[in-house]
């Protein structure tokens, strides 16, 4: 295999860097994590001419090389380490034509590291509309680079970019700014102490920790110690560097770029006026949320029914066409129902990720942050907490990672702690199946489905408990921190179908495979535990016949009696009976108890577990929902899932911290076991108490 060209894609947030990445790699990409840290690593392969290939690494968006978060730090780590296998042969800095001035700051810093650098100016299609004109040859000369005008939206300029990547060896390595002008005396001294080192690289290593000390830095090599200057002096030098760079950029653009200001007035300001209005802003925001949640419930019911039916038919087919034996029943009663329990929720999860991707892509999310900041601050949160709280409806893990751009440590910590209250997509399976059992299929005002409204209420409950918990934490947490908040308000954009779809597919895939593995393993374990047992289990037929000496039972009734006796005396039955006293005050039997315990690792396992337990020895009902509906209380003969126990279960899942992955990510982001442990104890206790009270009142 020929050597691939290593390309690093860099740029400010909101420059369309991800669109450029998607255009270059198509679906030829994979998303992972950097070893030891939870920073997302996106990489892909791009085909160049004559069979040559480039390996493209999409680095986290950053405003400069002065790290202030773990994501930004990852960029610097890579650019400072020539031995890293991903160290770029060539850097592509993506800029947006309307924010060129600010975007060039990062460009000049990368250039000064003497990495071959291509300047990709994205959104070039907006130039005419905004009356912007650029003197490309002059700009190339001033910045010592090659410039490519791109339009990711119209797929223009990518051939030129690929050509430049191929010819990266021709790129000039001249720096933009002479490092020593920042502080001649200081840098002379530095150069004398480390004559062999590149001065700018050295400077970045020294200042790497100045704005970034609070967070975990596992897997990061220690910087060279040159702390002859105090932190405040270094900070001042960084400020000076920024000012010098802006001077250079201003001087350069003065002669190469013209903007007709009169024409730049646009619909952005008109839209802003409505979307951030002190009344309409909120009305629109809540309308958007309502539409999203209604849509998730209503639209996805069709594909979900289809999937449920398909899995039921597959189970049936396996039972009838494969030879009878342990393997067949493991497949039909263990694996298939378990997997069906997760695959059925793909439509909903995909819709949720789709809407969140659209909100982010259009630039609307920043307006919501702006609108909500003052309100959220009353509860010890930041306007930026809105993003984690909303994306927490998909999954708490990326949501907790999304708190990284909250500058204030206390606000960030509170956001991390309360995010698991929001209704994540793993709760959805549990909610949906229980709602469909206990809430009648009616329409309110002929428009909203009652089941949809119940779900909306549960989402609302999730947000409300998050906010309330934040309010309490704000009162009791004593964390010293400085108040600071800045957010970019990007231009409004029509979301690009390709970006949105790729995000949706990637996120759904990782959710399903991540959860799928756990569910697969647990469903096999459960099947074994439910299909075998000690002592009495193996003599079920004799015991049943003894209890009924006159042989009055029909063949079917006798089989059913044997099977239910076996389930109760199987290993899982014995375990379930042991915990039954704990869960029965909440209105659950031992089967639900087992499902709750097994779903401690991940909530969605609940449905899979019940599906597996109920399918062992139940041949009449095929779909999960029908099996659950057919469960009756052994003494009362009424349905197992009645209104009281159903509501109690819904509330238990609304509050319980049933997700190991979330606890792990909280541990990583807070660098302490105290916070996840507190979260687990508090949320589980709350869930138990609320479910207990609810059941006792309703019953």
Catalog residues that contact another protein under the rule CB under 8 A: 63-64, 66, 68, 98-99, 101-102, 105, 211, 232, 235-236, 238-239, 242-243, 246, 269, 272-273, 276, 278, 281-282, 366, 369-371, 373-375, 383, 407, 483-491
Q: Which two tokens stand for residue 31?
A: 């998303």
Which CA distances in Å does 171 have to 17, 117, 160? 21, 7, 14
Question: Which CB atom, from 41 or from 235, has the smaller least distance to another protein?
Answer: 235
Shortest reach from residue 99's CB to another protein, in Å: 6
Question: Which CB atom, from 368 or from 389, has the smaller least distance to another protein?
Answer: 368
Question: Which CB atom, from 391 or from 405, has the smaller least distance to another protein?
Answer: 405
CA-based max dimension of the chain: 106
Rounded Cα distance, 486 and 484, in Å: 7
Question: Which CB atom, from 471 or from 692, has the smaller least distance to another protein?
Answer: 471
Question: Which CB atom, from 368 or from 470, has the smaller least distance to another protein?
Answer: 368
Shortest reach from residue 363's CB to another protein, in Å: 10
Rounded Cα distance, 698 and 645, in Å: 9
Shortest reach from residue 401's CB to another protein, in Å: 19
Alpha-helical runs (H) found in 571-673:
571-583, 590-598, 605-615, 624-630, 643-655, 660-670
Question: Which CB atom, from 252 or from 366, has the smaller least distance to another protein?
Answer: 366
Question: Which CB atom, from 87 or from 485, has the smaller least distance to another protein?
Answer: 485
Question: Which CB atom, from 205 or from 594, has the smaller least distance to another protein?
Answer: 205
Shortest reach from residue 118's CB to another protein, in Å: 22
Shortest reach from residue 282's CB to another protein, in Å: 8
Shortest reach from residue 88's CB to another protein, in Å: 22
Question: Which CB atom, from 385 or from 508, has the smaller least distance to another protein?
Answer: 385
Shortest reach from residue 239's CB to another protein, in Å: 6
Contact 594, 575 (CB under 8 A): yes
DSSP conformation letters of 303-340: HHHHHHHHHHHHHHHHHHHSPSSHHHHIIIIIIHHHHH
Shortest reach from residue 131's CB to another protein, in Å: 13
End-to-end CA distance of the chain: 69
Contact 39, 71 (CB under 8 A): yes
635-669 as b/e: b if 16+ CB within 10 A? eeeebbbbebbbbbbbbbbbbbbbbebbbebbbbb
- Token pair 């915990």 in the structure block, residue: 579
425-464 as b/e: b if 16+ CB within 10 A? bbbbbbbbbbbbbbbeeeeeeeebbebbbbbbebbebbbe
Shortest reach from residue 494's CB to another protein, in Å: 18
Shortest reach from residue 365's CB to another protein, in Å: 13
Question: Which CB atom, from 101 or from 667, has the smaller least distance to another protein?
Answer: 101
Which CA distances in Å does 516 have to 520, 521, 622? 6, 9, 21
Question: Which CB atom, from 99 or from 328, has the smaller least distance to another protein?
Answer: 99
Sign of CA dihedral 273, 279, 282, 284: negative
DSSP for residue 490: P
Which CA distances in Å does 81 have to 36, 75, 86, 92? 17, 10, 9, 17
Rounded Cα distance, 476 and 470, in Å: 10
* Helix H or strand E segment including 545: helix 540-547
Question: Which CB atom, from 107 or from 459, has the smaller least distance to another protein?
Answer: 107
Contact 39, 74 (CB under 8 A): yes
Shortest reach from residue 292's CB to another protein, in Å: 22
β-bridge partners, 267:
none
Which CA distances in Å does 155 have to 24, 49, 538? 10, 18, 68
Shortest reach from residue 310's CB to another protein, in Å: 49
Helix (H, G, I), strand (E, B) or coil at 117: strand
Shortest reach from residue 210's CB to another protein, in Å: 8
Question: Which CB atom, from 383 or from 576, has the smaller least distance to another protein?
Answer: 383
């Amino acid at each position: 295999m020929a050597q691939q060209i290593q390309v690093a894609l860099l740029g400010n947030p909101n420059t369309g860097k991800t669109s450029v990445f998607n255009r270059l790699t198509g679906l030829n990409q994979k998303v992972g994590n950097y070893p030891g840290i939870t920073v997302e690593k996106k990489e892909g392969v791009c085909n160049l001419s004559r069979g040559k290939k480039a390996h493209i690494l999409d680095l986290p968006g950053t405003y400069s090389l002065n790290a202030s978060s773990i994501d930004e730090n990852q960029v610097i780590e890579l650019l400072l380490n020539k031995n890293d296998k991903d160290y770029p042969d060539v850097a592509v800095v993506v800029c947006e034509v309307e924010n060129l001035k600010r975007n060039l700051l990062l460009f000049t810093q990368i250039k000064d590291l003497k990495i071959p650098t291509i300047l990709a100016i994205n959104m070039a299609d907006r130039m005419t509309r905004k009356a912007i004109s650029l003197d490309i040859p002059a700009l190339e000369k001033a910045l010592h680079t090659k410039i490519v005008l791109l339009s990711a939206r119209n797929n223009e300029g990518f051939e030129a970019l690929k050509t430049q990547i191929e010819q990266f060896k021709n790129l000039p390595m001249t720096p933009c700014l002479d490092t020593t002008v920042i502080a001649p005396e200081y840098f002379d001294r530095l150069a004398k102490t480390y004559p062999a080192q590149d001065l700018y690289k050295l400077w970045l290593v020294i200042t790497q920790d100045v704005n970034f000390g609070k967070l975990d830095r596992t897997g990061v090599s220690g910087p060279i110690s040159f702390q002859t200057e105090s932190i405040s002096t270094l900070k001042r030098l960084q400020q000076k560097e920024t000012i010098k760079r802006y001077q250079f950029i201003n001087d350069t653009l003065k002669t190469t770029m013209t903007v007709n200001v009169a024409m730049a007035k646009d619909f952005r300001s008109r839209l802003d006026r409505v979307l951030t209005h002190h009344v309409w802003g909120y009305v629109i925001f809540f309308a958007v949320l309502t539409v999203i949640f209604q849509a998730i419930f209503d639209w996805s019911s069709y594909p979900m029914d289809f999937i449920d039916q398909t899995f039921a038919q597959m189970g049936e087919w396996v039972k009838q066409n494969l030879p009878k034996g342990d393997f067949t029943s493991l497949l039909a009663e263990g694996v298939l129902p378990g997997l069906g329990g997760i695959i059925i929720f793909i439509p909903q999860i995909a819709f949720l990720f789709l809407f969140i991707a659209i909100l982010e892509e259009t630039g609307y999310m920043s307006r919501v942050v702006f609108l909500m900041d003052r309100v959220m601050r009353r509860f010890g949160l930041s306007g930026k907490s809105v993003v984690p709280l909303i994306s927490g409806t998909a999954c708490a893990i990326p949501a907790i990672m999304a708190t990284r751009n909250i500058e204030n440590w206390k606000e960030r910590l509170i956001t991390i702690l309360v995010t698991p209250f929001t209704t994540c997509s793993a709760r959805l399976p549990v909610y949906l199946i229980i709602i469909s059992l206990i809430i009648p299929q009616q329409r309110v005002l002929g428009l909203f489905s009652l089941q949809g409204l119940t779900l909306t209420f549960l989402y609302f409950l999730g947000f409300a408990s998050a906010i309330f918990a934040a309010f309490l934490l704000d009162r009791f947490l004593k964390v010293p921190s400085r108040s600071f908040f800045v957010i970019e308000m990007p231009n409004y954009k029509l979301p690009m179908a390709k970006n949105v779809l790729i995000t949706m597919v990637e996120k759904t895939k990782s959710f399903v495979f991540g959860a799928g593995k756990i569910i697969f393993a647990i469903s096999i374990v459960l099947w074994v535990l439910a299909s075998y047992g000690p002592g009495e289990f193996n003599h079920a037929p004799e015991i049943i016949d003894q209890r009924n000496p006159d042989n009055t039972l029909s063949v079917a009734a006798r089989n059913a009696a044997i099977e239910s006796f076996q389930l109760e005396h199987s290993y899982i039955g014995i375990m379930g009976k042991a915990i039954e006293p704990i869960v029965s005050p909440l209105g659950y039997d031992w089967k639900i108890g087992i499902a709750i315990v097994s779903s401690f690792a991940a909530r969605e396992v609940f449905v899979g577990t019940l599906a597996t337990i109920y399918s062992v020895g139940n041949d009449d009902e095929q779909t999960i929902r029908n099996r659950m509906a057919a469960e009756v209380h052994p003494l009362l003969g009424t349905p197992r899932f009645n209104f009281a126990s159903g509501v109690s279960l819904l509330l238990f899942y609304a509050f319980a911290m049933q997700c190991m992955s979330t606890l792990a990510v909280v541990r990583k982001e807070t660098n302490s076991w105290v916070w996840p442990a507190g979260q687990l104890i508090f949320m589980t206790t709350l869930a138990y108490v609320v479910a207990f009270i609810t059941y006792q009142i309703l019953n």
